[in-house]
Structure 1
Amino acid sequence: MPEIETARLRLRHFTLEEFDVLYCLYSNAEVMRYLSPRTREQTQASLRKHIQHWQENNFGMWAVIHKDSDNMIGRCGLGFLENTPEVELGYVFDKSYWQMGLATEASIATLKYGFLEVKLDRIVAIAHPQNVASVRVIQKVGMKYQKNAHFYNSDVVYYAVTRKEWHPDDSLYILQTEIA
């Protein structure tokens, strides 16, 4: 299964052994403020879904590993937007790693994977309008505002970028398809 290396991060597939770290992230009320915290059972279901999604679609959520510490610091990747065939960029990071550009770095790598490897034609992203940091990440990676919308029982702003509109940057992106 593919993994990606960026300047500061490794994006790799989740394993069931990461439940505790993921639960710490998903149960943190501040981190999950705009997504709603998850119980142990919901986190277990999410973890299994992350793993299964890759097996079925050749894309999904990556476990984001900070190269300096070798710690899992969040998740970033692609999934299907609720009740649509559209592919959505999503991310969640541990609070101690906020405001370092890591969500942007992981999102850029994820878009490269989606457009260059999976050959998607379009990728969307949504955020609560009040989640200024998330909206800023979406804008930094080149997505353009499309409309206000309602997904996951919330009013959100909806952004998108097509492969034709997207402009890859020259940031470090090493795709490894054969992991030893």
Structure 2
Amino acid sequence: MEIETARLQLRHFSLNDFDYLFRLYSDAEIMRYLLPRTREQTQVSLNKHIQQWQQHNFGMWAVIYKETGAMIGRCGLGFLENTPEVELGYVFDKSYWNMGLGTEASQATLKFGFWQVKLDRIVAIAHPENIASVRVIQKVGMKYEKNARYYGPDVVYYAIFQREWQPDDSLYILKH
């Protein structure tokens, strides 16, 4: 299953994506708020991205920039640490920051979560200092609910219910 947006293609990960994912996950600047990962941790993450789809019919997408065909990050849905809540998450290559691509991929992910997976609510967390990430969360319509602690550090916690969500009219093509 894939999604096409105006500038992006969101597709499932494959084992062949390891080298790219490791380059992303081992970059200290990109992973500043998420902790860089070793080769072993990256392999575990990649396997988890693949298994999540098989078990739950949602998960992380590999994000491809259509203009070049390059993989530029990941965006998708997963379970928030030790909860049944479904979380929007994303990581993008720093050379593609500040182009609105995180927002574009996140909008498509919310559409998928609400329209195809039929979720009632989606949450997102970010470090309060990670202004760019907080902006993406706000731009897709999520509302601040509380300060919390997940995956170790203090975070801001946002959420949106399907009934409150306003889909935008951006290009969204689902391919099976």
TM-score, length of structure 1 as denominator length: 0.98
Give 1:157 deviation, angstroms.
0.1
Q: Which residue of 2 aligns with 1:38?
A: 37
Q: Which residue of 2 aligns with 1:92?
A: 91
Give 1:126 deviation, angstroms.
0.1
Give 1:15 deviation, angstroms.
0.4
Give 1:34 deviation, angstroms.
0.1
Give 1:129 deviation, angstroms.
0.1
Residue 53 (structure 2) pairs with residue 57 (structure 1): no
| Aligned mates of 2:111, 2:148 — CA distance in 1 | 26
| Aligned mates of 1:56, 1:97 — CA distance in 2 | 31
What amino acid maps onto 1:13 in structure 2? H
| Aligned mates of 1:149, 1:165 — CA distance in 2 | 22
Q: Which residue of 1 aligns with 2:19?
A: 20
Secondary structure, in 3 states, of the residue corresponding to 2:170? Answer: coil
Residue 166 (structure 2) pairs with residue 163 (structure 1): no
- Residue-pair matches, total: 176
Secondary structure, in 3 states, of the residue corresponding to 2:34? Answer: coil
What amino acid maps onto 2:58 in structure 1? F
Q: Which residue of 1 aligns with 2:152?
A: 153
Aligned-pair RMSD on alpha carbons? 0.3
> What whole-Å deviation, never above 9, does each CA across 1:107-159 have from its counterpart, x for those lacking one?
00000000000000000000000000000000000000000000000100000
**Structure 1: which 4+ aligned runs deviate by more than 6 Å?**
none
| Aligned mates of 1:75, 1:69 — CA distance in 2 | 16
Structure 1: state its 5+ residue gaps: none
TM-score, length of structure 2 as denominator length: 1.00
Q: Which residue of 1 aligns with 2:115?
A: 116
| Aligned mates of 2:67, 2:35 — CA distance in 1 | 29
Residue 134 (structure 2) pairs with residue 135 (structure 1): yes
Give 1:62 deviation, angstroms.
0.0
What amino acid maps onto 1:48 in structure 2? N
What amino acid maps onto 1:171 in structure 2? S
Give 1:172 deviation, angstroms.
0.1
Give 1:52 deviation, angstroms.
0.2
Structure 2: state its 5+ residue gaps: none
Secondary structure, in 3 states, of the residue corresponding to 1:30? Answer: coil
What percentage of residue pairs aligned between the two structures are identical?
Answer: 77
| Aligned mates of 1:144, 1:81 — CA distance in 2 | 17
| Aligned mates of 1:103, 1:136 — CA distance in 2 | 10
| Aligned mates of 2:14, 2:73 — CA distance in 1 | 13
